[in-house]
A = this chain, B = another copy of it.
Amino acid sequence: MPENDSATPGHNTGTPALTREALAQAALRVLERDGLAGLSMRKVAAEVGVKAASLYWHVRNKEELLDLLNDAIMALAEPPPREGDWRVQMRGYCWRYRRLLHDNRDAAKVVAGRLAPGPHLFGLLDDQLDRLREAGFSDAHAALTTYLLSSFVQGFVLQEQSPMSAAQADGASRLDVAAEVRDRFRALPVEDFPNLVALAGDLTEPNLDARFEFCVERILDGLAALLPPERR
């Protein structure tokens, strides 16, 4: 396994050379095309014009390839704009993170259990910490806040993208599914689950953006309470 990524090994073949970065990009294309379940070593290898076993020269195993893929996804994040106070900045961070996970197929599942920090995540994280400290949060609170926000966004997107029922990617649209689940709630025995029956409509409200907004604003409210009143 080479410690270098592409150049300056001292000597190398004349061909363009297969790099870890190229592997990550290939994996990203396969992910977009076939989803996480369809992402196999053989397909990624084929995508770069190579046989599966050759990948193991560049990567210890599939898990490590997924780490690379994770960082490749993070690299697609929009750079955070500078304007606004801490609240609009953190709000923007949450919404941009959610959009990033939405825009790349199965990105939430890839990122989910993967703390393995690539360089691109470092950049975003450092920026976020910078703004929290600037806003008056203590070092400890700033660090804890990054965990709170990322945990929530990851969990939320994972949940909103889950099939919700066996009737998923069929012809049924989001609204159809929501209506069907709502009716299932309504049909429950009232004596056992009175609240589920009563709140069936609220629980299956199909506007997921509004749901996300509610959650984010609650979290921001909670964070604001850490600051002295004049800095909120």
Contact = CB atoms under 8 A, between A and B. Distances in A.
Contacts of A165: 115-116
A166 interface: yes
Contact of A139 (B115, B133, B202): B202
A144 interface: yes
Given A64-B166, A143-B205, A196 B151 contact: no
A133 B203 CA distance: 13
Interface string A167-205: 000000000000000000000100011111011001101
B155 A158 contact: yes
Given A148-B215, A222-B220, A195 B130 contact: yes
Contact of A219 (B161, B203, B222): B222
A122 B193 contact: yes
A194 B131 CA distance: 12
Q: How large is the interface on A (under 10, 10 to 19, 20 to 34, 35 or more residues)?
A: 35 or more
B199 A148 contact: no
A109 interface: yes
A62 B140 CA distance: 43
A83 interface: no
Among A64, A161, A218, A225, max chain B CB count under 10 A is at: A218
Contacts of A60: 166
A61 to B, nearest CB: 10
Given A122-B188, A126-B194, A164-B116, A159 B142 contact: no
Contacts of A164: 115-116
Contacts of A188: 122
Given A116-B166, A218-B226, 20 more contacts: A113-B159, A113-B162, A122-B196, A125-B196, A126-B192, A126-B196, A130-B195, A139-B202, A140-B202, A141-B214, A144-B214, A145-B218, A147-B156, A151-B156, A152-B156, A155-B156, A155-B158, A219-B219, A220-B222, A221-B222
